[in-house]
Amino acid sequence: MRSSQIVGRGLKIAYPISIEKEYTKLLLRFVSRLKRLSIDSLVENYDLQTSLNGVVRHDDVVDDLGQSLRVLGLTISIESKEVIQSLGGYFSKVQQFTNRSLNNSVKHLVSKVPETELATFPAAVQTIEINTLKKMWVNKNVDLIKGLSDGVLNQLGDAVYDAARMGESIQSLSKRLNADLNINKKKAKAIARDQISKLKGNLSRHNDLVHGLTTYEWSTCKDGAVRSSHRVLEGKICSWLDASIYKNHIKDKWKKRASIGGAIQQIGEDFGCRCTNISIAGGL
Ligand SMILES: [Zn+2]
């Protein structure tokens, strides 16, 4: 087959950093709101304060806290709804961004392929539907957002029980929570980075396969933060159909990534991966 000789190389698919920043901001606003609501729910709960400060009836803390957490849980689920409703929009933004980048890449790639060879350009490869990808991404993010709010409720519950055991005042407890709940900022940032990079990777794979492009070149951001299992894949040719293989040149045979300590995952699948892909056609 003559197409096996064609080697067209596309452009680097850009990383949607501005969308990641926007999603980070949204999640950060959400966790600071959760923090505010949690601390307010303690300060405003006189029953809980009385039972917490009462030396004799510490068992009341359990009932009062239970009641307080139920009310807070309801408020939080209303707050979460707003965030959850905007998830579809974030998917579309990353999709538009990736499509733009891919269109430029394919245009460039096609411009390098001789006209006589264009008829042998690869046909679309069956892949997962875009709507299914969307459902999967949104559902995963709904779970992560619920995880953030459940985490806050658990942290709050544990902190109140600790305070009751140690005879800590409500003021000291609020102060402690104010610092402890900051851990959720880190979690929110990590979720935004990880989920946007996973989405970008999945959409790149989808877009390439729709164009019949089954191979890509792995490209890292080449900074000190790149993990070694990704660094060894820099410039290597990879397959969207099998994450366990690579080759150095398009005409080589596939080799096992494990033999060079390479990540056995596609671009963007590893936690917080910022590597990107360059589409390649031909030489298969
Ligand atoms: Zn990476």
Report the pLDDT averaged over residues 156-167.
Answer: 86
- Helix, strand, coil percentages (3-state) for the chain, rounded to 5, are 65, 10, 25
Distance 260 CA to ligand 1 centre (A): 15
DSSP secondary structure letter of residue 125: -
Beta bridge partners of 216: 238, 279
Distance between Cα 189 and ligand 1 center (Å): 17
Residues 6+ away with beta carbon under 8 Å from 85: none
Segment 56-91, tens digit of pLDDT: 556 677 777 888 888 899 999 999 999 999 999 999
Q: Which domain holds residue 92?
A: 3-281
Count up the domains in the chain and report the number. Answer: 1
If you measure from the C-alpha of residue 43 to the centroid of ligand 1, how many angstroms do you get, rounded to a whole number? 44
Interval between CA 226 and ligand 1 midpoint (Å): 6
Contacts for 40 with CB less than 8 Å, ≥ 6 apart: none
| Model pLDDT for residues 99-120, shown as the tens digit of each residue | 999 888 888 887 877 777 766 6
Structure tokens at 53: 């400060």
Q: How far apart are CA 55 and CA 58, in angstroms?
A: 7
Q: Is the pTM of this model over 0.75?
A: yes
Dist. CA 278 → ligand 1 center (Å): 14
If you measure from the C-alpha of residue 136 to the centroid of ligand 1, how many angstroms do you get, rounded to a whole number? 22
Question: In the numeric block, which tokens belong to residue 134?
Answer: 């969307």
Calculate how far, in angstroms, residue 274's C-alpha sits from the geometric centre of ligand 1: 5
255 C-alpha to ligand 1 centroid (Å): 20
| Cα–ligand 1 centroid distance for 225 (angstroms) | 9
What was the pLDDT predicted at 194? Answer: 94
- Rounded to 5 degrees, φ, ψ at 138 are -65, -45
Q: How far is the CA of 119 from the centre of ligand 1 (A)?
A: 35
